[in-house]
Structure 1
Amino acid sequence: MPASFWSQVIEFSHEITQRVGAQLLLEYGQVQATAKDDGSLVTRCDRWADQEIGDAIATTFPDHGLLTEEGTHQFPDRDWCWIIDPIDGTTNFTRGIPIWAISLGLLYKGTPVFGYVHLPPLNQTFHGFWNAPDHTNSAFLNNAPIQTRTDAPAPNQFFSFCARSTDILKQPFPCKVRMLGSAAYNVLTVAAGMTLGAIEATPKIWDIAAVWPIVQAAGGAWQALEPHPIFPLQVGQSYGNRPYPTLVVSQAQWLSEFLPLVQCVSSNL
């Protein structure tokens, strides 16, 4: 793809997440959530942001497909497709906890090649490219390059858990544990060198599409905790109810140490 295409993608992602994020900040901590069929929460802000971003993509990239958390879950027959999580961390958003994000992933032929994640309360924006056509693999936080840690696992290193992965702690674990309440941010802390790893027991496709290219471009290793590969997504298939248990570590060499400790996550699903 020409450089002008990727410039347009970055400019669009910045503009729409800034605009939507500014509006969400006005209502953050002041809205009530309801439970969806899968037990996750949704607010009118999620639905508004989902629609706003989807409409903007349809206008700016009319040839691109779309899959969103609050809209269509079926993967379209398009070479390029955006996957949207309008508010990753809805529970945090409703309770006034400042860790929630707007997440955009761009897929080419079913595999993420670009991710853009904006956290309005923290004023942090991550983006990255991984095996994108005519673009170098690279990852950034607020436009500064980022890379994963090279430290060995140790008691003074951090590791991010999700709320559904705490069974892991029934056995000794080599790092300090943190739970942040946002699947995207859990993984991005690895990309930014804040943590050595992250475990997500039940993320959906919109939780991981944007962070998948970013963490790998930063040097991290992504390990699906199920036998089938996550990508490429298949045309016509619905991805609304499928979880993707995932382990992310800062260096591939640490997979062998952490994998035996987290296998209970996938076996409990």
Structure 2
Amino acid sequence: MHWPDILNFAEAATHSVGQQLLQDFGQVQADEKSDGSLVTRADRWADETLRGAIAQRFPDYGILSEELTHVFPAQDWCWIIDPLDGTTNFARGIPIWGISLGLLYQGTPVFGYVHLPPIQQSFHGYWPGDSGLEMPTGAFCNGRAIAASPDAPSGNHFFNLCARSIAILQQQPFPCKIRMLGVATYNLLTVAAGATLGAVEATPKIWDIAAVWPIVQAAGAVWQPLEPGPIFPLVPGQNYGDRPFPTLVVSQPALLEVFLPRVAVLSK
């Protein structure tokens, strides 16, 4: 495995798609999917384009994508695509949305790349975990190393919510200021970058988290599933289209006892 080639491919593919999406930003009509989320022709085009690029460059790798195939394939290596994370922001003209690619080995993410064209930020990371792979380890934003914050909570630190987790606000006082960004990947990546102390996603799908998983952990943050059992490895032949993965990410282990009781309401 040539990891520089993997990084170069992910960068080139997401940046190329991002340039076209910027042309459509705020200009396309959105339709509602069965789960209540929005989709545009731009989502579908980006999904098809990324699938085509992967099939050409990595013909032996599996692919799971938001807009087409949700069944996890049997290949050792698989790319998971979120062609446009933050479609509501994209359709309404709010400049926080992105494109993500996660690379899984035997069902577990080991590399992730997330590109946010409007704010010109690109995150990537390598996390071998228990894979046994010889590979780099680290998390980066625009090529610079990032790390989770060592700070204690205060009224001048941030914690991110998603739109489906606002019930947490009923538990006052909350130890940090609250932010809501509308993009699952970026929501969690701000913890990896040291900008926030924690973030929660109540109903993320596998394409929302596959690319973020290795970046967050390589940055030293803690990933805490809010349902029993591990998220990874994924199981070949299983359909992940309708399955959510409630998740809490915090910047350091000591903050689990601070935030986990407050987000427990989401798993009830």
Band of TM-score, shorter chain: over 0.9
Match of 1:169 in 2: 169
The CA distance in 2 between the partners of 1:249 and 1:136, in whole Å, is 23
The residue matched to 1:163 in structure 2 has which SS? coil
Residue 255 (1) aligns with residue 256 (2) = yes
User: What is the one-letter code of the residue matched to 1:170?
Assistant: Q
Summarize deviations over 1:106-159 as a string: whole Å, max 9, x none. 000000000000000011000000116211320000000000000011111100
The CA distance in 2 between the partners of 1:6 and 1:136, in whole Å, is 8
Give the 4+ runs in structure 1 shifted more than 2 A: none
What are the residue-to-residue correspondences of 1:28-107 with 2, within 5 Å? 28-107=25-104
Query: Where does structure 2 lack aligned partners over 5 or more consecutive residues?
Result: none
Quote the Cα distance in structure 2 between the aligned partners of 1:225 and 1:203. 11
Aligned AA (2:24): E
Q: TM-score, normalised by structure 2?
A: 0.97
- Whole-Å separation in 2 of the counterparts to 1:168 and 1:80: 37
Q: Please give the per-residue CA displacement for 1:173-207, whole angstroms capped at 9, x wherever unaligned.
A: 11100000000000010000100000000000000
The count of corresponding residues between Structure 1 and Structure 2 is 264
Q: Secondary structure in 2 aligned to 1:198?
A: strand
State the partner residue of 2:150.
150
TM-score (norm 1): 0.97
Give % identity.
65
**What residue identity is the alignment partner of 2:256?**
L
**Alpha-carbon distance between aligned partners in 2 of 1:135 and 1:176, rounded to the nearest angstrom:** 37
Q: Distance in 1 between matches of 2:158 and 2:10?
A: 30
Quote the residue 2:200 is aligned against: 199
SS of the equivalent of 1:253 reads: helix
Q: CA–CA distance in 2 between the matches of 1:35 and 1:20?
A: 22
Structure 2: how far apart are the matches of 1:225 and 1:137? 26
- In structure 2, what is the equivalent of residue 223 of structure 1? 224
- 2:184 aligns with 183
Give the Cα separation in 2 of the matches to 1:57 and 1:123: 23
Distance, in Å, in 2 between the alignment partners of 1:66 and 1:266 is 30
- Give 1:209 shift: 0.3
**Out of 119, 127, 137, which is 1:122 matched to?**
119
Letter in 1 for 2:190: T
Q: CA RMSD in A?
A: 0.7
State whether structure 2 residue 27 is matched by structure 1 residue 26: no
* Alignment-mate amino acid for residue 45 of structure 2: W
Question: What do the CA deviations read for 1:42-85 (whole angstroms, capped 9, x no partner)?
Answer: 00000000000001000000110000000100000000000000
Amino acid aligned to 1:119? L
Q: In the aligned structure 2, how far is the partner of 1:95 from the partner of 1:36?
A: 17
2:159 corresponds to 1:159: yes
